[in-house]
Chains A and B, each alone.
Chain A
Amino acid sequence: MKTPSQPEARIRLPPKRPWGTVLPAVLGGSLVLLFLLPLLALVTYAPPGEIFQEATNPGVLASLAVTLLASGLALAITLALGVPLGYLLARRSFRGKALLHSVVTLPLVLPHLVAGLAILLLFSPASPLGAWAVRLGFPVFETLWGVVLVMVYVSASYTVLSSELAFRAVDPSVLEAARSLGATPGEVTASVTLPLAFRGIVAGALLSWSRAVSEIGGFLILAYAVYPSALYTGPVTSPISVYIFNLYQLGDLSGAAAVSSLLVLIALTLFLAVRFVEGRGALPWVRGDLLP
């Protein structure tokens, strides 16, 4: 009951709503468990000794080398070609832009086996383009270049779309101000647009790289085996996903789990390293008010 001594206009805090935290935490937590539990089952299946043993196995190392080398090359190509495309999509209006958007998104919805088949048909040594690629020293079928090509095909969309969003988010008035302060268009791109879009581009690049490393469908058709060529001079091997698939098919579940654990460790280390560098403020995208 209210007494006269109680002030009428006491500040009333909004009621706490525990469900506003608990409900999303329970639902989201379930998903996190769904992510983690299978991984836990994976990394605990093979004894730790076997994981270390696989880490020194020349066959696994060759497969990892091809995968990491190809994914690095694919990422470089994706950035070099995808970021300018994202820029065009964000900053220019032109006829056929909607169609171009669909083309960029298409590899995301296409079954990757289909992507592999399409690339094979285009680049098979029997096709004119394939024959031409062989003459130029870039044979595609069952080489490192084939792995790179499939990786770019299935993963570059993420970089294009992320950098498009990142470029779109750059305030045009900032660019105009920089121009009027004396910066040429090139200087504006280097000193304003790219630094401001950097975070989004890096996010897209990480997605692209992850997608490239996890690819298998396209490899099954185009690069089941990888023969030595110009950039890769090691033994005949296959991309790591195919390598794991082979072990699994041969019934070596323990070996497949051990090599998979190795891959999980590499990916986890990379992501943690990026977060660490970002957290330390060592990359420009955490400057200013860009950090959420």
Chain B
Amino acid sequence: MSGLVVRGLRTRVGDFSLGPIGFELRPGEVLGLLGPSGSGKTTLLRALSGFLPVPEGSVSLEGRPLAALPPEERGVGYVPQGLGLLPHRTVLGNVLYPLELRARRDARARALALLSDLGLTVLRDRYPGTLSGGERQRVAMARALAAEPRWLLWDEPFAGLDLEAREDLLDLLGATLETHHLPTVIVAHEPAVAFSLGRRFLLLQDGQARFEGSPEELRRRPPSAFAARFLGCENVLSFEDLERYPGSRLARSLRSLAGPEGVALFSRDLLPVSGGGPGTWPFTLNRLLPLPDGWLLKGDSEGLPLRVHHPETPGALPAPGTRLSVSLRSEALLPLGASEAPVHAPQ
């Protein structure tokens, strides 16, 4: 296959071991690398770019094995966390750096063209220490592209950026990836960011790949309680949780529909309804938490803890202690740990 192929990659940093990890990326394809802090995202990027030994597994680009090559010969545009801009060089000097290393005759013209493409011309004589977070990200991107990489690895490009800078960078990144058509791995800490980047991602937990697939697939069928929580699912109920409340009719009902690891429900798929009736479950409200578009109701259904979304509506809100009813759409139930969860087997 042309593009990036990673098979059964393992590495270690101190006591932390990563892998086996395997995935394939065609040119122009973006893989979002997702997972909480300490899950191994940065470790994987450092192993791929050649800064950590890979004692097991293989990494190849366009059929050429990379694992034995030093970082400078891997043709990778690696942007580490913190960006690694050269503090003693100006913006132009940073973009010139890889071109000077290659003794390119048109170095200056090329660097200026890249600065212009990324809207950095006015900043060319500034030093990195005087730039904003978004500007620094764009300089890092221009510099990575100046090296004419054949693939891109980007560690948390959106960390520490405000919403506007994030959106600008996202647009720019999208346009750049379209133009340069490179296999790209981008680390993201937050699911929302990863979802906006690409159609595929890899979820890491404790150095292990927990899921690989599209955002829709993950949302539809989270492979584990961890994945569901990471997606922002408010109700993640393990089998033990469901068995702990024998008096709860909802728990009994959910038990028959749950997967081996339990069941997950987004609060938005549970709706408070006036009056009881068939297809509704009792809900006692304990606390209200404000949300941007309504309220999160915390309470329980005959003991079973539950979080329910209450849309912003005119009129009085229920007070804590009120007994309500909730309805839930059965297609909204997410069985956890189902065997057909699309985790790619390590190769």
Chain A residues within CB distance 8 Å of chain B: 171, 173-184, 187, 191-192, 195-196, 284, 287-290
List chain A residues, Cβ under 8 A from B86: 174, 177-178, 192, 288
Contact of B80 among A176, A196, A290 (CB under 8 A): A176
Is the beta-carbon distance between A182 and B128 smaller than 8 angstroms? no
List chain B residues, Cβ under 8 A from A180: 49-50, 71-72, 74, 76-78, 147
Q: Interface size class for chain B? A: 35 or more
List chain B residues, Cβ under 8 A from A183: 72, 97, 101
Instruction: Return the 6 tightest CB-CB contacts between A and B, nearest first.
Output: A289-B129, A177-B84, A180-B78, A288-B127, A181-B98, A173-B80
A-B contact pairs, 14 of them (CB 8 A): A171-B82, A175-B84, A176-B78, A177-B78, A179-B51, A179-B72, A180-B50, A180-B147, A181-B144, A182-B98, A183-B101, A187-B101, A196-B88, A287-B127
List chain A residues, Cβ under 8 A from B78: 176-177, 180
Interface of A is mostly: helix
Is the beta-carbon distance between B80 and A178 smaller than 8 angstroms? no
List chain A residues, Cβ under 8 A from B324: none
Contact of A177 among B70, B85, B102, B130 (CB under 8 A): B85
List chain B residues, Cβ under 8 A from A196: 87-88
- Residues of B278-313 at the interface with A, using a CB-CB cut-off of 8 Å, are none
Contact of A289 among B80, B84, B101, B127 (CB under 8 A): B127
Is the beta-carbon distance between A171 and B84 smaller than 8 angstroms? yes
List chain A residues, Cβ under 8 A from B54: none
Residue of B nearest to A195 (CB): B88
Q: Does B89 sit within 8 A of A, measured CB to CB?
A: yes
Is the beta-carbon distance between A182 and B102 smaller than 8 angstroms? yes
Chain B proximity of A104: nearest CB distance (Å): 27
Chain B residues within CB distance 8 Å of chain A: 46, 49-51, 70-72, 74, 76-90, 97-98, 101-102, 127-130, 140, 143-144, 146-147
Chain B CB count within 10 A is highest, among A173, A177, A179, A192, for A177
List chain B residues, Cβ under 8 A from A173: 80-84
Contact of B72 among A184, A191, A287 (CB under 8 A): A184
CA distance A184 to B101 in the complex (A): 9
CA distance A178 to B80 in the complex (A): 10
List chain A residues, Cβ under 8 A from B88: 195-196, 284, 287-288, 290
Contact of B130 among A181, A191, A284, A289 (CB under 8 A): A289
Residue of A nearest to B81 (CB): A173
Residue of A nearest to B148 (CB): A182
Chain A proximity of B97: nearest CB distance (Å): 6
CA distance A187 to B86 in the complex (A): 14
CA distance A94 to B47 in the complex (A): 23
Other contacts beyond A179-B70, A289-B129: 18, CB < 8 A = A171-B82, A173-B80, A173-B83, A174-B87, A175-B84, A177-B80, A178-B86, A178-B97, A180-B74, A180-B77, A181-B72, A181-B98, A181-B101, A183-B72, A288-B90, A288-B127, A289-B87, A290-B87
Given the known interface contacts A182-B98, A182-B102, A182-B147, the answer about A288 and B87 at a Cβ–Cβ threshold of 8 Å is yes
List chain A residues, Cβ under 8 A from B89: 287-288
CA distance A191 to B72 in the complex (A): 15
CA distance A184 to B74 in the complex (A): 12
List chain B residues, Cβ under 8 A from A177: 78-80, 83-86, 140, 143
List chain B residues, Cβ under 8 A from A184: 70, 72
